[in-house]
Amino acid sequence: MTQAMLQCLSHSPLMGLVDPLPETVQAATKAIGNLRDALQRFDPEVIFLFAPDHYNGFFYDLMPPFCIGVVADSIGDFGSLSGPLDVPADLALACACAVLDSDIDCAVSYRMQVDHGFAQPLEMLAGALERYPVVPIFINSVAPPMPAFRRARLLGDAVGRYAATLNKRVLFMASGGLSHNPPVPLLAGASAEVAERLIAGRQPSADARAARQQRTIDAARAFAAGTSTLHPLNPEWDREFLATLCARDLVSLDKISNDAITEAAGASAHEVKSWVAANAAMAAATGNRYTVQAGYYEPIPEWIAGFATLQGQADEVITKN
């Protein structure tokens, strides 16, 4: 008997560093609290966490579209939690095998480094990095060439079919998005110094890390003040995306190209592929018998994020072989 639940949450390391009005913080905090309470009640036996990276664990020396962590550590950028994740290694490896058997070529890592993309939802929803067993599933969302919506959906589909065989309470969790464009550099057109950081920037000096974080904080202040040239948030695009997930119409996203995503919603909007994968996993695990509710949405410039929560429940317990 497998039971499945779905939770998706935007992330932003600017939370607590560059905050909007207290009412906005309160509303977002309440929405996050709702997810946390539901997670606690569900008490997952394993979390499949789909999330991106921001040139902290994955670089252009070898950039996979997808990677499953068999052993994983959080680096603790922007004051996020650092330290090991509780990855059930055999299960993570079996998941990777099942994904490969489903024609989705994903990498594995026995020393996966993750950043706030993974750490923040674990901290905010699970309460700690090691509170629950978690299979971390990286989706490249910042470093072109990137997988398309369709591939993210098929990855999620493969993970969901595997998860349904476990006879456990499984939680599919996604971290990222929605529309946004924080100052994450692109390799195309980068200076030699920035290119080096994107290709081989593992373990930067404390000064380099602090300078990077300060640049992001400065960018958020300018973005909130309306004096920034960063790509604007796109609430209309975000609401349509959420409606598509609520309608369980993931296939309709396949026709949206990566260029169209960047153009409409910003270069980091590709992080929503984590949401697509988690929703596809839920669909596969439940045989499409699940319901989704968008919990909260607000474009929050201070956090450089179309900030949203979403939750889904299976209509029934899944019985399988």
Ligand X SMILES: O=C(O)CCc1cccc(O)c1O
State the residues that interact with ligand X by CB under 6 A: 11-14, 54, 176, 180, 182, 184, 216, 268, 271, 304-305
Helix ranges, the chain (H): 22-42, 89-101, 116-121, 149-163, 192-200, 206-225, 235-246, 258-265, 272-286
Cis peptide before 178 (omega within 30 of 0): yes
Query: Do the beta carbons of residue 231 and residue 267 sit within 8 Å?
Result: yes
Rounded CA-CA distance 262/272 in Å is 11
Active site residue 11: no
CA–CA distances in Å: residue 12 to residues 162, 168, 177? 30, 31, 9
Shortest Å, Cβ 301 to ligand X: 10
Please tell me which residue in 11, 54, 116, 270 is annotated as part of the active site: 116
List CB contacts of 290: < 8 A, sequence separation 6 or more. Answer: 4, 6, 248, 282, 283, 312, 313, 314, 315
Closest distance to ligand X from the beta carbon of 82 (Å) = 15
The nearer residue to ligand X, 31 or 91, going by C-beta atoms, is 31
Residue 161 or residue 197: which is nearer to ligand X going by CB?
197
Is 54 among the catalytic positions? no
Minimum distance from residue 143 beta carbon to ligand X (Å): 12
- Distance from C-alpha of 54 to C-alpha of 70, rounded to nearest angstrom: 20
Among residues 64, 216, 264, which one has the least CA distance to residue 147?
A: 64
Other beta carbons less than 10 A from residue 235's beta carbon: 14
Residue 307: CB minimum distance to ligand X, A: 9
Q: Closer to ligand X at the Cβ: 11 or 231? A: 11
Shortest CB 101 distance to ligand X, Å: 32
Alpha carbons 302 and 224: distance in angstroms, whole number: 5
| Cβ distance to ligand X smaller for residue 76 or 287 | 76
Minimum separation from the CB atom of position 320 to ligand X (A) = 35
Cβ closest to ligand X, residue 9 vs residue 170: 9
Residue 250: both structure tokens together: 């993931």
Task: Name the nearest CA neighbour of 54 among 131, 99, 137, 115.
Answer: 115
Dihedral of alpha carbons 81, 82, 87, 92, sign: positive
Cβ closest to ligand X, residue 142 vs residue 245: 142
The torsion defined by the Cα of 139, 74, 294 and 242, in degrees rounded to 10, comes to -30
DSSP letter assigned to residue 184? -
Residues forming the active site: 116, 180
